[in-house]
Amino acid sequence: MKKKNNKNKRNLKAGMSLPCGSDFGTPERARQDGGISFQAASRKSDGTVIQPQAKAKISCKLDWYWDKGTIDNQMYHAGAKFALLYFYAGKVPHTSMEIKERVQKSRTSGQEDFMNSYSDAERALNDALDVLDPDERDVIREVAGLDNYAGRPGRTLKLKHGLRALAVHWKIPHDVKVFL
């Protein structure tokens, strides 16, 4: 009777190292979106790993463009900030048309209620959209806001120009680091 190879489990218990991402999942998952990597979710005081945590290497289209080298760190941070503002401004697709219609109706009716005022995120998002031309606006909304691919090479170029303009607008430094 053969003994199972529990090398990774022994290493974790001994605090030696994290498992390799290629040891887990199917070969298809490894080819798709960069596979997975492991991070230490928690460590002992001496630095040994107590609990490893699996994480997808690429979790959104912005990550994919950064991983392929299409955009640099500065553009990545501008896109991530846009995505965050887009989410906080409530621009992501609504699951219920009733909510969307109620929000739009309250904004156009002139009623003074909490739905009629713009949030700080909406103001910041509108300021950012003002520095972009309409084509850049559309492609950044698609990639960073709605998590779709840009598509044609011309739209990818618009994505790069738009993200650079947002980075300048928000004064994101050139030497900013990306921690994924």
pLDDT in tens, the chain (180 residues): 444 445 445 444 555 555 555 555 666 666 666 666 666 667 777 877 677 666 667 778 998 899 889 999 999 999 999 998 988 888 876 555 555 565 566 555 555 444 445 678 888 999 999 999 999 999 999 999 998 999 899 999 999 999 999 999 999 998 888 765
Contact 34, 67 (CB under 8 A): yes
Model-level pTM?
0.66
* For the chain, domain boundaries: 10-56, 61-169
Report the distance separating Cα 162 and Cα 139, nearest Å. 8
Q: Three-state DSSP class for 75?
A: helix
DSSP secondary structure of 105-129 = HHHHS---SGGGSPPHHHHHHHHHH
